[in-house]
Amino acid sequence: MTKLLFANIDEPDLNTIDVYRRHGGYEALPKALKMSRDEVQAQLESSELRGRGGAGFSMGKKVSFLPHGAMDKYLVCNADESEPGAFKDRELIQKNPHQLIEGLIIGAYAADVNRSFIYIRGEYQYQADILDAAVKQAEAAGYLGERILGSDHTLSLVVHRGAGAYICGEETALLDSLEGKRGNPRLKPPFPANQGLYQGPTLVNNVETLSNVPHIIRMGAKAWAEHGVQNSTGTKVVSVSGCVRNPGNFEIELGIPTRDLIMGLAGGPREGCTIKFFFPGGSSSPVLTAEEGLDIPYDFDSMAKAGSMLGSGSIIVVDDTVPVVEVAKKVAKFYAHESCGKCSPCREGTNWTVKMLERVDTGEATPMDLDIIASVQDQIIGHCLCVLGDSMAMPIGSLVRKFRAEFEEHIERAREARGMGVTVPEPEPVGIAGADPDVGPY
């Protein structure tokens, strides 16, 4: 299978500029600089490259949304990869940082941007150090700075380290965090393309999206778009983790059967286990059972049609040894912990979902509580400032819907373990000190 992003990925010292150049690195940049900005933009648009961070929005279109003219515009690369199950950006930065930097320079040229930032999550210390070193090398080689390679394009690049907050992966929260504030999402519109970082027009792109840009320019949009399928062009780095034998990042052409990915590349489930369900696009995507999901192609549209999403392209496989209530609790607790607290449906909804799931687990719930859980998820979806609330509501809603029988069985078993059985014993009357039990408190 064709490797673009992962070509030579394990070559020692690929993270240095010399080895990267030996493999044809920084050849797309002079080619792009000889083209006009509009031509580069047209190449990006006609490649139909879709954003690899989760939303899947056309990158070329995003570039074209930025206003023209002389003003302070910014490009921010989102390397705050915090979605549970996603680890593709980590590998791309660690092993091939110059591919990202080259793509970022070309993207900045197309959008006519002079200042750029890479916001990398604070936990990726090793990767951020590599990125810092790579930026220094690129500056020394004249790929960054004033009048790049003799053109009229100028670009500065700052690597900004976060400090541990999932919400900062949301683009407007990321911009707030980069401005030195708490990472709270902003109300949209205005979208970052109009009013983003420091109130200036801002292009926000994921690491993998920008890493694809040099290949589009080098090969030409048409040749690049021959990879993949309609509406999901190109290759995609997919992170597969959980109950599989060979977890890791795999670069695939979009549109291959999901079965090849999970059973083939990732080695399938562990000895003696079968796959129960999987998250096709990180922990925030609605789950698909093995029967539903394994035989559909892995691309944006097929996943959406199956009722889930490709998201960031991170598959978490769960096998039949794991109780579904445990998975639901883990996912809900994560989102409750990471909710920034700015808007109520998310702040309250995530916390109540955790409390209800804990009641399910301990046997204090009844099957009716499952309906309440489902209705809470419906109240969250579409009612929040950003997608964090939805990110919990979608998987939890799908788990309760698809595994209702198992939830009910779990409740029943937990109730029996508490000695409550099927019939609920009469609750003890609540006594008030000094009150006559026959007369009552009033």
Shortest distance, position 419 Cβ to other proteins, whole Å: 23
Amino acid in the structure at residue 436: D
Q: Give the x-and-dash track for 352-391 against other proteins (CB under 8 A).
A: ----------------------------------------
Rounded to the nearest whole angstrom, what is the least distance from the CB of residue 300 to other proteins in the complex? 21
Decide whether 83 or 171 has the Cβ nearer to other proteins.
83
Element (H, E) at 252: strand 248-253
Under DSSP, is residue 433 helix (H, G, I), strand (E, B) or coil?
coil
- How far apart are CB 52 and other proteins at their closest, in Å? 15
**Six-digit token string for 410:** 């779990």
Q: What is the 3-state secondary structure (H, E, C) of 260-307?
A: HHHHHHCCCCCCCCCEEEEEECECCCCCEEHHHHCCCECCHHHHHHCC
- The residue among 24, 124, 12 whose CA lies nearest residue 77 is 124
- DSSP states of 46-96 as a string? HHTPBPSSSS--BHHHHHHHSPPSSS--EEEEEE---STT--HHHHHHHH-
Q: Which of residues 215-244 bind other proteins (CB under 8 A)?
A: 239, 241-243
Instruction: Give whichever of 314 and 398 is closer to other proteins, judged by the CB atom.
Output: 314
Torsion of CA 168, 169, 171, 173, to 10 degrees: -10
**Interface residue with other proteins, options 24, 38, 198, 375 (CB under 8 A):** 198
222 versus 337: smaller Cβ distance to other proteins: 337
| Region of 2-10, 23-31, 48-56, 57-65 interacting with other proteins (CB under 8 A) | 2-10
CB of 317 to other proteins, least distance (A): 8
Q: Are the beta carbons of 121 and 166 closer than 8 angstroms? A: no
Least distance to other proteins, CB of residue 294, Å: 18
Count of positions on this chain that bind other proteins (CB under 8 A): 80
Reading the block at residue 89, the tokens are 């950006």
Q: Is 28 in the site for other proteins (CB under 8 A)?
A: no
Give the range of 121-129, 213-221, 301-309, 379-387 binding other proteins by CB under 8 A: 121-129
Taking the least distance from each CB to other proteins, the nearer of 244 and 411 is: 244
Do 279 and 285 contact (CB within 8 A), yes or no? yes
Could you say which of 44, 174, 178, 393 contacts other proteins (CB under 8 A)? 178
Span interacting with other proteins, options 131-139, 289-297, 382-390, 417-425, rule CB under 8 A: 131-139
C-alpha radius of gyration, the chain, whole number: 25
Choice from 26, 143, 250, 403 touching other proteins (CB under 8 A): 250
- Chosen residue from 161, 276, 342, 410 binding other proteins by CB under 8 A: 161
* Residue closest to 239 by CA, chosen among 203, 272, 209, 282: 282
Q: By three-state DSSP, how is residue 253 classified?
A: strand
Axis-axis angle for helices 367-380, 404-417 (nearest 10):
130
Distance CA 410, CA 363 (A): 8
The residue with tokens 């394009």 is 153
Closest CB 92 distance from other proteins, rounded Å: 10
Angle at 328 between CA 405 and CA 260, to 5 degrees: 85
Is 6 a binding residue for other proteins by CB under 8 A? The answer is yes
According to the binding rule CB under 8 A, does residue 337 interact with other proteins?
yes
4 is a site residue for other proteins (CB under 8 A): no
Pattern 140-159, other proteins, x by CB under 8 A: ------------------x-
How wide is the angle at C-alpha 5 spanned by C-alphas 282 and 116, nearest 5°? 80
How far apart are the C-alpha atoms of 317 and 246, rounded to whole Å?
12
Contact range with other proteins by CB under 8 A, out of 24-32, 246-254, 292-300, 396-404: 246-254
Structure tokens at 306: 């199956």
**In the bound complex, what is the minimum distance in angstroms from residue 250's beta carbon to other proteins?**
5
Residue 24 touching other proteins (CB under 8 A): no
Q: Which of residues 262-281 bind other proteins (CB under 8 A)?
A: 265-266
- Nearest Cα residue to 368 out of 413, 426, 411, 330: 411
**Contact set for other proteins, span 304-333 (CB under 8 A):** 314, 316, 318, 322, 326-327, 330-331
Q: Which of 8, 195, 289, 366 binds other proteins (CB under 8 A)?
A: 8
Which among 47-55, 127-135, 255-263, 298-306 is the span making contact with other proteins, rule CB under 8 A?
127-135
Q: Which of residues 51-110 bind other proteins (CB under 8 A)?
A: 72, 81-87, 89-91, 94-95
Among 122, 220, 257, 307, binds other proteins (CB under 8 A): 122
